[in-house]
Amino acid sequence: MERYPPWKWPTVMRIFAAKHLDETVRSKSTSGGVFVALCEYVLGLGGVVYGARFDQAMRVVHDRAVSMDECARFSGSKYVQSDMGSCYRLVREDMQAGRRVLFSGTPCQVAGLRSFLELSRTVGNLLTVDLVCHGVPSPMIWAAHVGFIQAAERSSLLDYRFRDKSAGWHRSRHVAVMDRGAISNHRVDAFREVFNFNYALRPSCHVCPFARLDRVADITLGDYWGVGQHFPDFDDNRGVSLVILHSEDGSAAFDAIRDHFSLIELSVEQCLQQPLQAPTPPSPQRAAFWRAYRQGGYEAAIRRFTSYGLIRRIARGLRRAIREFMS
Ligand SMILES: Cc1cc2nc3c(=O)[nH]c(=O)nc-3n(C[C@H](O)[C@H](O)[C@H](O)COP(=O)(O)OP(=O)(O)OC[C@H]3O[C@@H](n4cnc5c(N)ncnc54)[C@H](O)[C@@H]3O)c2cc1C
């Protein structure tokens, strides 16, 4: 674990494709389940973990965890900018109290934490994990999506899986867990398109200085999408993590958990994907999407810019045709 200061931009030391050997862990994780093993490692040393979870209002917030039960809420990517709340100060208090800390977040959140700790000259044991990051959608649009689904389904949203793998990792879909049960339909799926088509990422994501292989964190985690091309036999459609080790501390932590995984060591060329090379470009329709949202609200925007609108038109046409046929 790293002693602070000094600040440094770590380089890449080793890169792996990793699959957790416990299938239950992998099924609940976005990719190969590396994050869960890191939590177990740090908690086993008496440490604490910071990550992103949903709060009761389904906002995405950062929080502190001291048990695996609490860490379970961090599992699974939430494709929304998380609210850091007072977590930076809590990390500092934990470090000052001599606790080991695992902090996970987007690259900019890890860089923000490190700047905060450096400015306050905090010294302690910190392991940082960041993500290969496509960009984070606006919390305002996410809140609008939550309100839209709850109103349409006349039911409360209890949980949301942005990457449900029940139909396979390659065909993962959005699933909303309502108090009436889990659903995945064209309304829920609209947010997948809002995210994937880059309509509502934060403007800063499009000029992100961390969209590169070198990172501020000790370890970078991502989905290893190159597995099908480079190692098709390793791809069982249940999720493979990309693990990029940047520092001695990251390397030591990963060596301590590596027995939990099937692993392949990768070259830089085998791991590259777009967010490791350049920021995600905005959709050419980004401004029009926001205009539609401001003028007519969330449903008007997704009706115009996602397949939600097309599916509604087809359903309406079918209903009209059936009515005419029956009359
Ligand atoms: C907004 C976002 C964009 C991403 N874009 C890509 C991408 O383009 N390519 C790619 O390969 N991988 C991307 N990832 C990472 C990927 O989805 C997995 O999170 C990663 O592979 C780790 O998977 P895992 O199975 O080890 O653990 P998981 O259990 O899936 O990991 C969850 C981890 O992500 C953190 N996390 C979840 N949501 C957020 C959030 N909103 N803000 C900050 N931290 C969060 C949790 O604290 C925890 O550390 C993205 C993740 C996020 C959150």
How would residue 285 be classed by pLDDT, with cut points 50, 70 and 90? very high
pLDDT on residue 10: 54
Torsion angle of the four alpha carbons 80, 308, 174, 295, in this order, in degrees rounded to the nearest 10: 20
pLDDT in tens, 57-111: 999 999 999 999 999 999 999 999 999 999 999 999 999 999 999 999 999 999 9
CA distance 188 to 184: 6
- 76 CA to centre of ligand 1 in angstroms: 7
Atom of ligand 1 nearest to the CA of 20: 25
What phi and psi, each to the nearest 5 degrees, are found at residue 22? -85, 110
- Same domain, yes or no: 94 and 58: yes
Q: Is the pLDDT of residue 124 over 90?
A: no
> Domain range holding 175?
139-200+284-326
131, 159, 208, 220: which to mutate for ligand 1, most atoms within 8 A of CB?
131
How would residue 205 be classed by pLDDT, with cut points 50, 70 and 90? very high
pLDDT in tens, 222-274: 999 999 999 999 999 999 999 999 999 999 999 999 999 999 999 999 998 99
Atom of ligand 1 nearest to the CA of 31: 25
- 312 CA to centre of ligand 1 in angstroms: 32
- Same domain, yes or no: 81 and 124: yes
Rg over CA atoms, the chain: 21
Q: Is residue 6 part of a domain?
A: no
pLDDT on residue 310: 73
- Same domain, yes or no: 178 and 71: no
Average pLDDT over residues 37-47: 97
- Same domain, yes or no: 185 and 239: no
| DSSP single-letter state for residue 258 | G
Q: What is the CATH number of the domain that holds 58?
A: 3.40.640
Domain count within the chain: 2
- 299 CA to centre of ligand 1 in angstroms: 27
